[in-house]
Structures are given as C-alpha cells and as structure tokens.
Chain A
Amino acid sequence: MASALSWRERLRPLRASAWLGFQIESNWSDPIVFAVYALAKPLATSLILLAMYKVVIGGEVSDPRFVALYVGNALYVFVNLLLVGLSWAVFEDREQYKMLKYVAAAPIGLVSYLLGRSLTKFVLATISAILVLLFGIFVLGLHLRVTPLSVLTLVAALGVGAVGIVAVGLVLAGLSMVFARQSMMMNEGVSAVLYLFCGVVFPPDLLPALLRPVALALPMTYWLEASRRALNVHGFSPLLTRLTDVQLAAIFVAVAFAWLVLARWIFGRLERRARAEGLLDITTAW
C-alpha cells in the first residue's frame, strides 16, 4: 500500500504538469487556430517535399525514396513538439509566465515537471503524425504496410524513440536554463539541425564523412529507420540497411538509454549551475 501510494505521489506532479501543459497548449487558443497550427505545419512540410519531388522526378509518388522521406517527415513532428517542447517549457515558464522559480522551489523537481509538460506535446505529436500518415495513404496513395504487427513494431519503436527524444530534449532544456533569451532561437535551430542529421528526409550517407558519426550517435536516426522498416519501407539508407532488424533494435535501445543517462547527468549539472548563478528567475526576453 505504501509503495502504491508512493507511486501515486510520484505520478501526481506528472499529471498536474501534463494538465497544465494541456491548458497552455489548447485551452487558451481557438480550437480551429490550434488545429491549423498542429496539423498545418507538418502537412505543409510534407507537401513541400511532394512539390520538390514532383518538380525533379515528375512521376508517381510510389517511389520508395519519396515514401521514405514522407514517413520520416511525418514522424519528425515528435522531435519538433516533444524535444523542442521541453526547452520551450523552460523558456516560457522562466521568461513569459515567470513561474519557473516556483516550480524549482516545489518538491516535485524540475525533471518531473518538464516530463509532465511534454506529455501533452507527445499526445499532440501522435495525433499529428497519424493524420499526416493517413493523408499520405489515402490522399497521396502511398503504399505503407499497416498490419497489427507493423503497428505494434511502430509503437515499440516510438516508445524507445520517445525516450531518446526526451533525453536529447532534457539537454536542450538544461541549456535553456543557463542561456538568456536566445534559447528561444536555439530551440528552433536545434530542431533544424536534427532535421539535417537524423536521416529525416535524406539518408545520413549523404552527409560529409566528418558529420556522419553525429547522425549515428543520435537515437532519432535509428528510430526513423526502425519506423520505416515497420511500415515496409526499406533501403532508404545503405548505411543502416546493412544492419539486421535485431542489430538495429539493439543499437537503438543502447543509444537511447545512453542518451537518457547522459542527459539526466547534464541536466542535473546545468540545473545546479542555474540555481547557483540565480538564472532560474532572470527575464531577458519580455
């Protein structure tokens, strides 16, 4: 009983911060505007890629190269919302709402609070990714294998992928605590950098040899490859195609959890620094 109560106690801050995140994300804005924002962005990016593809190839969208980049782009919304959302929460709470110092002073801990805030983003990203993939299947006529097993594999990949994404997001959130207002641009910038490195819309093989190890050190690279395989999209990256499914899964899990351990340590260090230097309540943007 004591143990169960302890779990409930532990989950309470997550629940409260998730609810707060939902209120901030949705309740304060017109649902139509919000839907446009949550759906229009990823859909527009997909259509940009479709236009680029049509201009160059001019043919059918059934080309596995297009299907692979479409899937990568549809799933990248998790990085945009979940990863960037963690550091946005720090930025907003410190600079705009000026609440971060109170959260830091509360016994729940900043990590629990941020994870709770990211839950809303996770739900949003899931809705967005599903709708963009459905648009691809039913409107563009993409051939994706959707079976119970493929969905299960996709969900499992997303589970591990989410751990990796949150881990990288925690590093970014830690940096947001010690940076001034430019952390706002850093969020957008990191999202763009990861779009380049994770094999979202082009295989990491195309990156200069010097930068390829960066792509291979990121959990999102393996997550996207695993998700593509789950949907029967093969051969996007010759570099990753060499790995068997088991090898890919093993490397993916190892990289994601290595990032989690590293990120927790980095976040702790940065949080201590922010507390020591009085950076939790500075306002530099508003």
Chain B
Amino acid sequence: MTDGRFEPLVTNLRAAWARAYVRIFAASREPSWILTETLLPVIGMCAYVFVYRALGAPRAFEAFVVLGGVMMAYWLGVLWSMGTQFYWEKQDGNLEFYLMAPCSRMAILSGMAIGGVVMTSLRALSALALGLFVFRVPFDLAQGWTALAVFLLTLGSLYALGMCLASLFLMYGREVWHVAHALEEPVYLANGLYFPIRALGPWGWAAVSTIPLAIGLDAMRQLLLGPAMAKPILPVLTEIWILVGAVFVYLAVAVAMLRWTENQGKKRGTLILRHQ
C-alpha cells in the first residue's frame, strides 16, 4: 500500500462506496419512502394478475406477471437511477465535482449502480413477496440457484446498459425526461414483461438483440416455470452466454461513451451548463 501501487484502486473503491452510501442510507431517513417506492408501485403489478384471472388464464401466467414485476423494478432503476442520474447531477451542480474528483467516472457509476440495486431490491422483493404469499404463484425452485445466477447476470448487463444510458442522457439534455418515459411501457412490451416473448413473433428478436431484459426473463421463466410454460426463444445456456457477453460489451461501450461525452462536453462547454 505504501508504494502507492494500490492507491488508485483504493481511491476508486472508496469513491464507489461513497456514491453508493448516499443511496443506501439517505433513503432510510424518510420513512414514507417505503410506502411510495415499494408498496405503491408493486400494486400496479396486481392489475395484470387480475387481467389474467379475468381472462381465465392458467395460474402459471400470473408467475409471468410477478417475474415481470420484479424485473420491471430493476429496469426502472436502470432508467431513472442510472440513466438520468448524470443529467440530474448536472442540474444539481454536482457533476463538476465528479469530474474534478481524482477517481474514475466508472467508479462513481458503479457506486450508483450498487446503491441503486440495494434500493430497487426492496421494491423487487415486495413484488416477489406479493406474488408468493398473496397470489401464491407456482414457482418450481428445483433450479433456483441457476435462476439466481441468471438473475444476477441480467442485473449486471442491465446496469452496464444503464451506464451507457448515463452518457447518452447527459448528452441529450432536458429531452431526456421524455426519452426515459418513452423507454418504459414500450420496453415492457418489446421485452415481453408479462407474456412469453414468442407472442411478439419476429418483433421479439428486435428486443432480444438490444436490451438484455428479455433474454434474462426468458431464461428465468424456463428455470422457474419449465420450458413448456415459458415458451422459450433460446436454450438457457445460450441465453446465459448472451448475458455474459452483454455485460462486457455494455461496459466497454459505457467507458468509451463516457470519455467521448466528457470530451465533447468540455469542447462545447456544455458539461456544466444547466437547463440545456
């Protein structure tokens, strides 16, 4: 440690923790947060369970909704707590501090991701608990550990995508608000959040090739509901490899985009220009 070889690593880890700390602990200081960020959004998921009930669908379809509700929480976290975050930091006047800090921007983004995952997991767990204990959806946990591994891989790839979005949204300016909104329901549709992605036909492949949410969901459904019910588009192993690839590709793209956005912002003088 004394020769300074590990100093950059330690600095980056500390920066990541510092950024994650704000998210993890600041939220707990406002107790009403639990109601507004966990219970209320989860209730929306129930409507789709009732739609399947109204249509007389087999109970396993309700499991589609619950899994979709869990993953939707993370997608919203990626959009609003990762993608738009640098834009908000700019609005708030914090972005210049990040740029001046002697640490990697990726360390800050990683801290945001870790803090975001912790916060979002509360909402996702609420969705899961509602599904398991209130709607009593039938999950087969024989391959639960593999499903957990797929879930973590999906999270990794989604948050890496969120890092790419952070640069993109920073560049986009105030239109980002509408873009982020436009990436909610259309993404739920394209990724088959509440139904087998196969129902979309060839259009399903468009989603599969861009956002790892569909691939992760498809693999988890196969593992927790069985291939017959999940109506998969690819074998689980292939989907796992796609997710691994997505993590590395999105991380590499995020690093490149972050550098490019920062350079462009510095040249144009827009990096700290608010309300742009």
- Residues of chain A touching chain B, judged by Cβ–Cβ distance below 8 Å, are 28-30, 33-34, 36-37, 40-42, 44-45, 47-49, 51-57, 65, 69, 96, 179-183, 185-186, 188-193, 195-196, 200-203, 206-207, 286
In the assembled complex, how far is the CB of residue A83 from the closest CB belonging to chain B, in whole angstroms? 14
In the assembled complex, how far is the CB of residue B226 from the closest CB belonging to chain A, in whole angstroms? 16
Judge whether B92 and A51 touch: CB under 8 Å.
no
Judge whether B179 and A33 touch: CB under 8 Å.
yes
Judge whether B182 and A33 touch: CB under 8 Å.
yes
Q: Cβ of B51: which chain A residues have Cβ within 8 Å of it? A: 49, 52, 69, 201-202
Judge whether A45 and B185 touch: CB under 8 Å.
yes
In the assembled complex, how far is the CB of residue B165 from the closest CB belonging to chain A, in whole angstroms? 15
A37's partner among B41, B50, B182 (CB-CB below 8 A) is B182
Judge whether A41 and B185 touch: CB under 8 Å.
yes
Judge whether B195 and A55 touch: CB under 8 Å.
yes
B256 at interface, CB cutoff 8 A: no
Q: Which stretch (B52-60, B109-117, B214-222, B245-253) binds chain A? A: B52-60
* Contact flags B135-166 to A (C-beta < 8 A → 1, else 0): 00000000000000000000000000000000
From 38 to 87 in chain B, residues with beta carbon under 8 angstroms from any chain A beta carbon are 39-41, 43-48, 50-57, 61
Q: Which residue of B lies closest to A96 (CB)?
A: B91
Q: Which stretch (B29-37, B233-241, B264-272) binds chain A? A: B29-37
B192's partner among A51, A57, A189 (CB-CB below 8 A) is A51
Q: Which residue of B lies closest to A45 (CB)?
A: B185
Judge whether A200 and B40 touch: CB under 8 Å.
no
Judge whether B56 and A34 touch: CB under 8 Å.
no
B1 at interface, CB cutoff 8 A: no
Q: Give Cα A195–Cα B43 distance, bound, in whole angstroms.
A: 9
Judge whether B56 and A29 touch: CB under 8 Å.
no
Q: Cβ of A190: which chain B residues have Cβ within 8 Å of it? A: 40
Q: Give Cα A185–Cα B42 distance, bound, in whole angstroms.
A: 12
A47's partner among B40, B92, B179, B189 (CB-CB below 8 A) is B189
Known: A96-B91, A193-B43, A196-B50. A48 touches B181 (CB 8 A): no
- Residues of chain B touching chain A, judged by Cβ–Cβ distance below 8 Å, are 30, 32-33, 35-37, 39-41, 43-48, 50-57, 61, 88, 91-92, 174-175, 177-179, 181-182, 184-186, 188-189, 192-196, 199-200
Judge whether A65 and B54 touch: CB under 8 Å.
yes
Known: A56-B52, A182-B30, A182-B32. A192 touches B40 (CB 8 A): yes
Judge whether B48 and A52 touch: CB under 8 Å.
yes
Judge whether B47 and A36 touch: CB under 8 Å.
no
- Majority DSSP secondary structure for residues of A touching B: helix
Judge whether B186 and A40 touch: CB under 8 Å.
yes
Q: Give Cα A207–Cα B53 distance, bound, in whole angstroms.
A: 11
Q: Give Cα A189–Cα B39 distance, bound, in whole angstroms.
A: 8
In the assembled complex, how far is the CB of residue A116 from the closest CB belonging to chain B, in whole angstroms? 21
Judge whether B92 and A57 touch: CB under 8 Å.
no
In the assembled complex, how far is the CB of residue B94 from the closest CB belonging to chain A, in whole angstroms? 10
B193's partner among A48, A96, A191 (CB-CB below 8 A) is A48
- Tell which of A48, A56, A203, A206 has the most Cβ of chain B within 10 Å: A48
B40's partner among A44, A179, A193, A206 (CB-CB below 8 A) is A193
Known: A37-B181, A51-B195, A180-B32. 17 other contacts (CB 8 A): A33-B182, A37-B178, A41-B182, A48-B189, A49-B51, A52-B51, A56-B52, A69-B54, A183-B36, A185-B40, A189-B41, A190-B40, A192-B45, A202-B50, A202-B51, A202-B53, A202-B54
Q: Cβ of B54: which chain A residues have Cβ within 8 Å of it? A: 65, 69, 201-203, 206
Judge whether B195 and A48 touch: CB under 8 Å.
yes
Q: Give Cα A45–Cα B55 distance, bound, in whole angstroms.
A: 17
Judge whether A182 and B46 touch: CB under 8 Å.
no
Q: Give Cα A111–Cα B185 distance, bound, in whole angstroms.
A: 31
In the assembled complex, how far is the CB of residue B91 from the closest CB belonging to chain A, in whole angstroms? 6
Q: Give the 6 A-B CB pairs with smallest separation, nearest first.
A: A189-B40, A192-B44, A44-B185, A202-B54, A37-B178, A56-B57
Q: Cβ of A186: which chain B residues have Cβ within 8 Å of it? A: 35-36, 40
